[in-house]
Amino acid sequence: MSDTITIKKPFDSHVHLRRGAMLRAVTPITAEKFCSAIVMPNTDPPIETCEQAAEYKKEILGALPRGVSFEPLMTLYLTKNLTPVDIEKGAAGDVCEIHAVKSYPYGATTNSQWGYRSILEAKDVLKKMEEVGMPLLLHGEVHVDENEHEVDAYEGEKRFIEDVLPRLLEQYPNLKISLEHLSTKIAAEFLEKNGKADKLVATVTPHHLLYAREDVESKPLLRCKPLIKSAADRDKVRELVAEGLPFISAGTDSAPHPESKKFASPAAFGVFNSPVAVELYTQVFDEMNALDKLEGFLSVNGPRFFGVEVSTETITLVKKDWQVTEPVTTDEGINIWPIGDVKHGLGNETVHWQIKQ
């Protein structure tokens, strides 16, 4: 068993960088650990035009420390305002190259109130995306069903996999789809059976690999959407990533909130994990004796799906215990607590891998 591993610099297929002081605090952390990332558009207001994406990209680049190279890959939010013209413009990249469109079901998570009730309603936009090869990123949960009944939050992903995804795949056979933050056994099995590297892929977070439903009770730092499911669900998702399939990649879903919102009741949805994500993924792969599959998952499969270069830089991780003891503080003095913090996490947590400086 190896105590050190060198891999190409990771790629984050799903991150929230927010705006303003929060963005300035968290962007350097993601940029230090990842070569590039797919940046989520659910800011307030949402990113739904190429012009807004260009301005947002500029803000992210402006927050990078001197000499750090990091490529934010921009996305648009699938609101009812988005048109096929926006898709064409984003694919052409004259104003800002758009790498994907993100769909949030109405009411699902932070700033998701602008989405369609069902992705299947977005016909013209989906057709255009299929035509130009623009990937669709799915928050794959059903929250309100066709009869206007609220779906149990633990059942939302299952309902999406059973009721919505097969129809979407059938109606748009050439649409590139990424199922984000996989959290259930049924979703993992669906991917195992139907996943294809250039067509149907999925991302997995560190927290859905590490924790189970019973761990989350009264732990606000772990409160997120999709909810963390049962131990059986987690174990199946772990099994999926350990298989080293070319269509499964790391998407941290790192989603910072100020402590005032995270320690409120109820706590805001979102896990801030960028300070420990690469280390925790490595820990999980080590636990499963699958370190030989780590580089594909962290650094190769994501960029391949989005058609961008795999990093030429490398990072080295060593097996060495450490703990997260400090929050990240913005330049406005607001604390953001990362998952794994010894006081506010699960309690005295130890991370077993470290990035070698």
Point out which residues bind Zn ion (CB under 5 A). Answer: 253
Residue 257 assigned to a binding site: yes
Query: Which lies closer to Zn ion via its Cβ, residue 125 or residue 271?
Result: 271
Q: Work out the angle between the directed axes of helices 50-62 and 20-33 (0-180°, nearest 10).
A: 70
Nearer to Zn ion, 103 or 282 (CB): 103
102 marked as part of a ligand binding site: yes
What is the three-class DSSP state of 161? helix
Please provide the DSSP assignment of 50-62 as one string. Answer: HHHHHHHHHHHHH
Nearer to Zn ion by C-beta: 34 or 353? Answer: 34
- Measured from the CB atom, the residue of 112 and 282 that comes closer to Zn ion is 112
Q: Please compute, for residue 92, the number of CA atoms within 13 A of its CA located in the half-sphere on the CB side.
A: 10
Q: How far apart are CA 100 and CA 82, in angstroms?
A: 13
β-pair partners for 271: 254
Strand, coil or helix: 188: helix
Check the annotation: does 17 bind a ligand.
yes
Q: Establish whether 18 is an annotated binding residue.
A: yes
Positions marked catalytic: 253
Q: Residue 112 corresponds to which amino acid?
A: S
- 139 assigned ligand-binding residue: yes
How many other β-carbons are positioned within 10 Å of the β-carbon of residue 339? 28
Which of helix, strand or coil describes residue 261? helix
CB of 275 to Zn ion, least distance (A): 17
Nearest to 304 by CA among 198, 203, 179, 173: 198
Q: How far is the CB of 75 from Zn ion (least distance, A)?
A: 11
Contact between 355 and 279 (Cβ < 8 Å): yes
Q: Choose among 52, 58, 89: nearest CA to 72.
A: 58
User: Cβ neighbours of residue 343 under 8 Å, at least 6 residues apart?
Assistant: 325
Find the helix or strand (DSSP H, E) in which 38 lies: strand 36-39
Nearer to Zn ion, 48 or 253 (CB): 253
Instruction: Determine whether the annotation assigns residue 42 to a binding site.
Output: yes
Q: For Zn ion, which is the closer residue by CB, 253 or 295?
A: 253
Q: 16: annotated binding-site residue?
A: yes
CB of 45 to Zn ion, least distance (A): 17
User: Is 174 annotated for ligand binding?
Assistant: no
Angle at 222 between CA 255 and CA 338, to 5 degrees: 55
Contact, 43 vs 111, CB < 8 A? yes
Contact 91, 55 (CB under 8 A): no
Smallest separation (angstroms) from Zn ion to the CB of 102: 8
Least separation in angstroms between residue 252's CB and Zn ion is 9
Residue 149: other Cβ atoms inside 10 A: 7
Shortest-Cβ-distance residue relative to Zn ion = 253
Residue 316 CB, nearest approach to Zn ion (Å): 28
CA distances from 150 to 140, 169, 208, 319 (A): 15, 24, 24, 45
Residue 101 host element (H or E)? strand 98-103
Going by the annotation, the residues of the binding site for Zn(2+) are 14, 16, 102, 139, 181, 253
Going by the annotation, the residues of the binding site are 14, 16-18, 42, 102, 139, 181, 253, 257
Going by the annotation, the residues of the binding site for substrate are 16-18, 42, 139, 257
